[in-house]
Every structure is written in C-alpha cells, then in structure tokens.
Amino acid sequence: MENHFNRAYTTLSQTGERFLYVMKTNGPQSAAALAKAAGITVEGARLQLVKLTEDGFVISQSVSAGVGRPTMQYSLTPRGFAYFPDAHTDLTVQLLQTIQGVLGPQAVTSVLNEREKALDNKYAAEIKQELPLEEKLTSLARVKTQEGYMAEWRKENDDYLFIENHCPICMAAKQCAGLCEAELNSLKKALGNGTNIERTEHIIDGSRRCVYIVRQ
C-alpha cells in the first residue's frame, strides 16, 4: 500500500495506520474486520482500537444487525480524517481569499480555468483516449491517487463507480465551489466523449467519499 498519510502525526504504529486507511476507504468497521485486514488477532485489534480511541482518531458505536448481540463499529473522528493529506489547505484557502479580496471574483474564476486546463493536459498525457473504458479508469485512478485522492473504481451491474476516498483540497473547495466543478469537468474530459459521469456522493456535502457513476 502506497503511503499517503499526513506525517504531522508520527505516533501511530503501522497497524494503527492500516486501521485508519481501512476505515477511511471502507467506512465503519468491526474489530474482527480490522483484525482480518491487518492480519492480526481480534484481541490485538481491540488493543490497537483502544489506543486509537484514547488518542482521538476513532470513535465507537454499538450497532444492531437484527438477531444477536450488537456489534461495536469503529469509525474516524475529525482528527482521524485529518491524518490524511490536505495538500497545504491553509495556504490554498488563504491564497483564494486573497485573490478574491484584492482582484475580485473574476480573478478567482480565471485561476480556476487555468487550473482546469493544466489538469486536462496532465490527464490527456496519462490517459489514452483509444483505450477501453476500464483501462482508462485504471489510469485515472492511479493518477488521482498520486494526487492524494485515494481513488479506485469498481463495476456495479452495467455501470462503473469511480470513487475518491479522500479529498486533499476539501477545505479549499468549501471556500470555492468552482474547484469541485473544475474537478468534475476534468474527469469528464479524461474519460472522453460518449462517457456520462454523475456525482452521487460528495465529501463537501458531508459524505465519507466522492462517488461518480460512469456510463458509456
């Protein structure tokens, strides 16, 4: 697994980091599921979860799934989410605010347009349009993961889901909605004409991840 963690926190063990990654990419997890993902015993997983809870990275909740005893589920706290990269959020937000304050909203639009062009050129060089859709999705997921989005894709019935498990520009996007629009436009261009993309989950709106349905 390629490490994209924010090294501002250096006290976590490799297993602790693995737990955060699994919860980030798959949502709330039981101790048994985390133990299986890390290749350790359930008791060992519980010890790790106690430390992660004490350090404020995870929170637990008892969940009933019908007949039988409730299961304890663990999920990330805001500090847990903050363990992942933010692409210099504070500086980005300050720059956007300064550009708008000094030069006006139109200047921000111009900056976003130039950023979108740069993304288009980057993806065009990485993702060949003549490739089948699945190969393009694989290339796009690789590029977006390198950018910090922890991206993946999967097939669901006749559709494809393109998933970004993390948004390294989340705080900046909350300040400037045009960033998300530019990202979506670049995804559409990267996958080519004849491909329809619809965002169904959005981190900015409170979802755990951004999910796009891709259809040809």
* DSSP structure class, residue 69: -
Tell me whether domains 14-82 and 89-215 share a fold: no
Q: How far apart are CA 20 and CA 200, in angstroms?
A: 24
pLDDT for the residue numbered 89: 59
What is the DSSP secondary-structure string of 120-131?
Answer: HHHHHHHS-TTS
pLDDT for the residue numbered 6: 45
Choosing among 3.20.20, 3.40.50, 2.40.440, 3.30.1380, the CATH entry for 89-215 is: 3.30.1380
- Mean pLDDT in each 10-residue stretch from start to end of the chain (216 residues)? 42 87 89 94 94 89 75 85 66 68 76 84 91 94 89 93 89 78 91 92 90 94
**Domain extents in the chain:** 14-82, 89-215
pLDDT for the residue numbered 62: 85
Radius of gyration of the chain measured on its C-alpha atoms: 19
**Residue type for position 76:** L
Are the CB atoms for 73 and 34 separated by under 8 Å? no
pLDDT for the residue numbered 90: 59
Residue 109 CB contacts under 8 Å (≥ 6 apart), including other chains: 178
pLDDT for the residue numbered 196: 93
Q: What is the pTM of this model?
A: 0.65
Give the CA diameter of the chain: 62
CATH number listed for the domain at residues 14-82:
1.10.10.10
pLDDT for the residue numbered 179: 82
C-alpha neighbours within 13 Å on the C-beta side of residue 176? 25
The helix (run of H) or strand (run of E) holding residue 170 is helix 170-175
Please report which residue ranges of 9-132 form alpha helices under DSSP H.
14-26, 31-38, 42-54, 78-82, 89-103, 105-126
